Structure 1
Amino acid sequence: MQETNRVVDLSVPSAARMYDWLLGGSNNFEVDQEACEMLLEVAPTTRELALNNRWFLQRVVRVLAEEHGIRQFIDFGSGLPTQRNVHQIAQETDPGARVVYIDNDPVVLALGRSLLDENDNTAILPFDMTDTEGIFAHPDLKRLIDFTEPVAALFISVLHCLPDSAGPGQLVRRVVDRLVPDSFVVVCQLVSDDPKVRDDVTELMRVQTHGNWGRVREESDVREIFSGLVVEEPGLVDVTDWRPDSDLQQRRRSIEWTEYGGLGRVPHRAR
């Protein structure tokens, strides 16, 4: 498989850059900001959703490192680097923790490489996250990740970017099949129990990103992705409620839609 080699089209919004703007970042363009404004008209609490999702990422990585002893992470569809990235959190527990980021957005790749240049225990690989064979064959992944030891695979707020035809559930299972028991998988994605919200946001994002989008799904779709994994407490939830550690962070919630998911452990397989 060939590594992704995309050219930045500044006339088309990017989900990664839109997310950056919602988090208060500066690595975005006017076209991304305009798309976010349209999104906020459909789902006004989307900024709260983005912030709560980022805090979830930070909490779950810390739990994996501190409580489960995970020292290897693969972040699929990692998005733009911002404060408190996966490697920064994991390396607070163990400076030797290793992190591989996967993304195919040219802006993400450029900024990620500049951030990671001086960190020998990290790498960013230019792949579509569905290219499992290419990713797992890459020399940098093989250099940093020892697949005889537990690994954490992160799919945080990315599977809704994949259409059903791309098989988001099959993607997770392909990755799980390569992990040893007691590895972990983190999955959360955008869901809503309101059909109008699901349809309106899906159509808006599909049009704005020129088809680089999947769909807003339902909680049952996420539960199906966790089939075969042992779901850790507190189960599959709105990620705002996943082991919250700060009242300040939880004061404002998203209403129209949520990030739904949790943490799954790869079980020991029957002999």
Structure 2
Amino acid sequence: MRRESWSPSWIDLDKPNAARVYDYYLGGSHNFAADREMARKAVELWPELPQIMRANRAFLRRSVQYLAGEGFTRFLDIGSGIPTVGPVHEVAREVQPEARVVYVDRDPVAVAHSLPLLVDDPLSHVVQADLTRPDELLATPEVADLLDDSAPVALLLVAVLHFVRDEAGPHKLVARLRDALPPGSAIVICHACREGRPDQVGSHQDIYQRTSTPITMRSHEEITAFFDGFELVDPGIVYLPEWRPDSPGTVGPHPERMAGLVGVGRLP
């Protein structure tokens, strides 16, 4: 298997990686045969996975465009994976050319793949840190610098909180991050939910139990609680395609099949 320039020599190309599998679903090129094989097996069990992943990326794009249009120039993307196929810095700079972005992921493989992509970008940084250790995450120089003055920051928690188990106290983790944000900051959340396909919650969670990144699908009420302290932006908490769609026709007849609830909130 040919090793690409963005893949360090210590990475095992025969072992699938969640960030590269996601890139494959998005139609990217930062993946290998082992990632594509894992993706195919997952799709056999959950055929809508690629559409869900693309809907997730489309929501990220729309929310970043919205916040950049509201004047945001600082973005903290936690659980970022590999910044390919419409990454935050490219989307934000279409509106705010000087937008700064800090990508954070706990996966050393995702971070290693990300670094070469951003080596020539002085306004974007990649940090290896764990959401479940918020004090350590906030103390990293890149994150601390992003939060260092009164400028509002957009905190992006897109498709990451469902990887945090209940015993880790996900709501307390989000509250800790919220309290570190400057006034007027924003939060963006996408979370796998129980309501959209209640008959398949068990099987969907079982798919991820077989991987190193099991998920916990939560209820509308539990997801709403992540926005405590924030004022929800219209249209509130909705299914993935329903948040400020590019056009009504892009929502589709069954938005609940995307199995994810999303929302954007603003601090006073």
* TM-score, shorter chain, exceeding 0.5: yes
Report the secondary structure of 2:52's partner residue: helix
Q: How does 1:146-161 map to 2 (within 5 A)?
A: 146-161=148-163
- The alignment partner of 1:181 has SS state of coil
Shift in Å, 1:147: 4.0
Count of residues in Structure 1 that have an aligned counterpart in Structure 2: 258
Alpha-carbon distance between aligned partners in 1 of 2:261 and 2:87, rounded to the nearest angstrom: 20
Q: Is the 8 A contact 1:161 1:213 kept in 2?
A: yes
Confirm or deny: 8 A CA contact 1:147 1:179 kept in the other structure: no
Q: Secondary structure at the match of 1:130?
A: coil
Closer, same or farther in 2 for the Cα pair 1:248/1:83, shift >3 Å?
farther
1:177 to 162, 166, 179: 179
Q: Deviations over 1:184-233 (max 9, x none)?
A: 00011111334442111212212122xx3232222222112112321110
CA distance in 2, matches of 1:185, 1:257: 21
Specify whether residues 202 and 233 from structure 1 end up closer, same or farther in structure 2 by C-alpha distance, changes over 3 A only: same
Contact kept? 1:73, 1:99, Cα under 8 Å = yes
Distance apart, 1:126 and its partner CA: 0.8
- 2:239 aligned with 1:202: no
Q: What CA RMSD, in Å, does the superposition of the two structures yield over aligned residues? A: 2.2
Letter aligned with residue 95 of structure 2: T
Q: Percent identity?
A: 36
- Name the aligned partner's letter for residue 82 of structure 2: L
Within 5 Å, give how 1:30-109 maps onto structure 2. Answer: 30-66=33-69, 68-109=70-111
Runs of 5+ in structure 1 lacking a partner?
A: 1-6
CA deviation profile, 1:236-271 (whole Å, cap 9, x unmatched): 00121111114675458666442211101113xxxx
Q: Deviations over 1:151-199 (max 9, x none)?
A: 1100001111111122222211110011122110001111133444211
Contact 1:238 1:259 in 2 (8 A): yes
Residue 33 of structure 1, CA deviation: 2.6
C-alpha distance in structure 2 between counterparts of 1:180 and 1:144, whole Å: 10
Q: Decide which moves more: 191-200 or 49-58.
A: 191-200
Moved more, 179-188 or 17-26: 17-26
- The range that moved more, 156-165 or 216-225, is 216-225
- Which residue identity does 1:175 align to in structure 2? L
1:192 and 2:194 aligned: yes
* TM-score normalised according to structure 1 size: 0.86
The structural deviation recorded for 1:145 is 3.6
Residue 22 (str. 1) matches residue 25 (str. 2): yes
RCO higher in 1 or 2 (8 Å CA, sep ≥ 6)? 1
User: Contact conserved, 2:156 with 2:187, CA < 8 A, in 1?
Assistant: yes
- Could you tell me how far 1:57 is from its partner in structure 2? 0.6
1:135–1:38 Cα change, 3 Å:
same
Q: Identify the match of residue 162 of structure 1 among 157, 164, 173.
A: 164
State how far apart, in whole Å, the 2-side matches of 1:154 and 1:204 are.
Answer: 25
Tell me, which stretches of 5 or more residues in structure 2 are unaligned?
Answer: 1-9
Q: Structure 1 residues 201 and 10, CA, compared in 2 at 3 Å: closer, same or farther?
A: farther
Q: Name the amino acid aligned to 2:54.
A: L
Task: Say whether the 8 Å CA contact 1:185–1:265 is kept in structure 2.
Answer: yes
In structure 2, give the amino acid aligned to 1:122: S
